[in-house]
C-alpha cells in the first residue's frame, strides 16, 4: 500500500469542509451546525482565496460565514489527472488556521503530519 501524500502544487482547486460556530443553533438542549463546504484557489503556499461573497451551486450569490470554529480543518487539493476511472482524487494539502474576510484563509503545511503517519504505518 502506498504512503499518504500531500497535494502537489499543480492543484488548481481546493476544498475545505468545516463547521463554523456562527452556523450553530441550540434546540431543546441539542446543538445543530450547518457545515461549510468551500471550494477555493491558492494565492500562495499558505493563503487561499476567501471572499466576503460566494456563488452557490445554483448560481445565487451569498454572504460567506465567519470561519471561527473551522480552524484545524483539512484543506484538500482536488486532482483530476489520474490515469484511472476515478473522476477526481482528494489529497491533503494543509490545515486551516486563520482567515481574513474579503481576503484569504491561512493554512499551515501538513508535511510533518504526513511523515508521522507514514512512519507509523505497518509495512
- 71-80 residue pLDDT tens: 889 999 998 7
Q: How many residues can be counted in the chain?
A: 123
> What confidence tens digit (pLDDT) does each residue in 93-118 have?
999 999 988 889 999 888 877 777 77
Residue 116 lies in a domain: yes
Residue 77 lies in a domain: yes
Distance in angstroms (rounded) separating the CA atoms of residues 14 and 42: 8
Of residues 80 and 59, more confidently modeled = 59
Distance in angstroms (rounded) separating the CA atoms of residues 41 and 56: 16
Domain that holds residue 32: 13-120
Residue 7 lies in a domain: no
Q: Does residue 31 have a pLDDT over 70?
A: yes
Amino acid at each position: 500500500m502506498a504512503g499518504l501524500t500531500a497535494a502537489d502544487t499543480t492543484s488548481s482547486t481546493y476544498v475545505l469542509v468545516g463547521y463554523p460556530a456562527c452556523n450553530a443553533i441550540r434546540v431543546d438542549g441539542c446543538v445543530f451546525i450547518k457545515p461549510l463546504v468551500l471550494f477555493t484557489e491558492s494565492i500562495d503556499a499558505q493563503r487561499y482565496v476567501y471572499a466576503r461573497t460566494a456563488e452557490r451551486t445554483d448560481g445565487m450569490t451569498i454572504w460567506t460565514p465567519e470561519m471561527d470554529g473551522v480552524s484545524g480543518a483539512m484543506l484538500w487539493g482536488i486532482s483530476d489527472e489520474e490515469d484511472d476511472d476515478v473522476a477526481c482524487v482528494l489529497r491533503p494539502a494543509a490545515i486551516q488556521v486563520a482567515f481574513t474576510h474579503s481576503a484569504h484563509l491561512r493554512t499551515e503545511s501538513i508535511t510533518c503530519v504526513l511523515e508521522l503517519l507514514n512512519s507509523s504505518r505497518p509495512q
